[in-house]
Amino acid sequence: MIDGTIDLATAEQTLWDAVVVGAGPAGCVAAIGLARAGLKTLLIDRTHFPRDKVCGGCLNSDALSDLDRLGLATAVSELGGFTIKKFLLAQRRTRATLDLPAGMAVSRRALDALLVQKAIANGSHFLPGQPVRIDHTNLQAETRLLHLGSDGTVAMQSRTVVLATGLSTAVCVDEAELPVLAASTARIGMGTTACHFPSFYEPGTIYMAVGRSGYVGLTRVEGHSLNIAAALDLPRVRASNPARVCREILEQAEFAISPEMLEGPWRGTASLTRNRPQVASHRIFAVGDAASYIEPFTGEGMAWAIRGGCAVVPLVVRGVQNWSPALMHEWATTLNQHLARRHRWCRTFARVLRHPKLVRAALFLTAAMPPLGRAVVRSIHLESYK
C-alpha cells in the first residue's frame, strides 16, 4: 500500500497552491507538473493505492509519447506490460486485424500506483483514503475551501483545485457550479481480470468483440493476467449480469472462453458518455474524464487524461500567481483544441457500434481495403503519424 506523505492536521493547517482531487492518470500527471513548477501541491484520492480500475489498460502511442516527454516512459515500460501492435476486431464471424503504432498494455493497478509514486517523488504530497467535496460558498475568495473525509469535518484551503475525479458520480463539486450532462442511452463500463484463460489470447494484441448489447475488449497485461473491459447496455446488465452478457458477445464472435475466465469479481462505472458544458469555475479546472468522456472503444481515455493533466499546469501556475476569470475560458479553449477532433471520431464510432450490421460492413471493407483501416488508425494516433 502507498502511504500518505502528510497527516490530516498538517494538511489542514497548510495553505496549498494546488490541490489535485483524484489520483488517476490526469490527476497524477497534473500533480507531477505542478510540483515540478514549484507549487505547494497536494494530491488526494478517496481510495488507497494500488487499486483496480475498470479500463482496457492500453496506453496508446500518443499516451506513451506524452509519458516519454514527462520522463516516465522507462518506468512505465518496466512495469512488465506488453507492447501492443495489433487490434483484432470481430462481429460474429466477421473479423479484421489492424496494425497499431506501438502502445503498451499494463494493468491500471500497476500504472496508477507508479504514477502516484512519481507524483510523490517529484515533490507533491499525497493523501489517500479521503473523499473530497469542494465548498460552494464564497466564490469571490482568494482560495477554495475543501471538505475531506466521509463526514467532511476536515477542511483545508487551496489557491487552486484540479478536479480529476474521473467518471465518479459522488458529488465532489456542486452541480450548480459545474454541472454534468450524462447521455441517458450511454453504456456503462464493466471490468474484471482473469488469471486462467485460453491460450487464444496472445500478448501484444487487443481482442475486441462487438455485439448487440455492447463490446468486450481483452488484453494480456503483466503477471500472466487477462484484462477484460466492456462497455455494455445498462438494461441488459440489470436483467442479467455482466459475465453472462460478456459471454454472449464473446461466443457470438467465436472468441475462446474458459469456464473461470468471466467469474469476476466485476467492477462497474457510471454512464460512459458524459460532458461538462463548463470545464472550469472559480479557481477550479476539470481534467480527464471529469471534464468529458465518450465511450472507450478507441482506447484513448488515458491519452486524453494525460494530455489534459500536462496542459492544465501552466494555467494553474498563472492562476496561483494572479487569478483571472479569463483563465476559465482559456482552459475550455485549450481542452477543445486538444480533444475536439478526437471526440468527434469517438462519437462517430459510438454511433456505428450501436448497429451490428454497420460494424460488419465496416469490417468487410477494412479487410478488403487495408488502406481504409490504416486511415482510421492514423486518425486516432495523431502523434505517431506527425
Q: Provide the binding-site residues for ligand FAD, judged by CB under 6 A.
A: 21-27, 44-47, 53-58, 131-132, 164-168, 170, 172, 189, 191, 229-231, 269, 272, 288-290, 296, 299-303, 305
The DSSP call for residue 383 is: G
The DSSP call for residue 2 is: P
- Compute φ and ψ for 257, nearest 5 degrees: -135, 135
In angstroms, what is the minimal distance from the CB of 364 to ligand FAD? 25
The answer for residues whose C-beta is within 8 angstroms of residue 152's C-beta and 6 or more apart is: 133
Nearer to ligand FAD, 27 or 33 (CB): 27
Nearer to ligand FAD, 25 or 319 (CB): 25
In angstroms, what is the minimal distance from the CB of 228 to ligand FAD? 9
- Which residues, in sequence order, are bridge partners of residue 83? 104
By the 10 Å C-beta count (0-12 exposed, 13-18 middle, 19+ buried), 38 is classed as exposed
DSSP secondary structure string for all residues of 136-204: -S-TTSSSEEEEESTT--EEEEEEEEEE--TT--S-SS-TTTS--EE-TT--EEEEEEESS--TTS-TT
- CA separation for the pair 225, 81 (Å, rounded): 10
Nearer to ligand FAD, 170 or 368 (CB): 170
Cβ-contact 103, 12 below 8 angstroms: no
Nearer to ligand FAD, 91 or 298 (CB): 298
Nearer to ligand FAD, 58 or 226 (CB): 58
Nearer to ligand FAD, 56 or 319 (CB): 56
Estimate to the nearest angstrom the gap between the alpha carbon of 372 and the chain centroid: 28
In angstroms, what is the minimal distance from the CB of 383 to ligand FAD? 14
In angstroms, what is the minimal distance from the CB of 196 to ligand FAD? 21
In angstroms, what is the minimal distance from the CB of 288 to ligand FAD? 2
Cβ-contact 249, 209 below 8 angstroms: yes
- CA separation for the pair 289, 253 (Å, rounded): 30
Cβ-contact 154, 61 below 8 angstroms: no
Cβ-contact 237, 245 below 8 angstroms: yes
In angstroms, what is the minimal distance from the CB of 51 to ligand FAD? 7
Nearer to ligand FAD, 54 or 89 (CB): 54
Question: How is residue 22 written as a grid cell?
Answer: 483524484
- Which residues, in sequence order, are bridge partners of residue 181? 275
By the 10 Å C-beta count (0-12 exposed, 13-18 middle, 19+ buried), 30 is classed as buried
In angstroms, what is the minimal distance from the CB of 60 to ligand FAD? 6
Nearer to ligand FAD, 222 or 300 (CB): 300
In angstroms, what is the minimal distance from the CB of 324 to ligand FAD? 25
Nearer to ligand FAD, 299 or 373 (CB): 299
In angstroms, what is the minimal distance from the CB of 227 to ligand FAD? 8
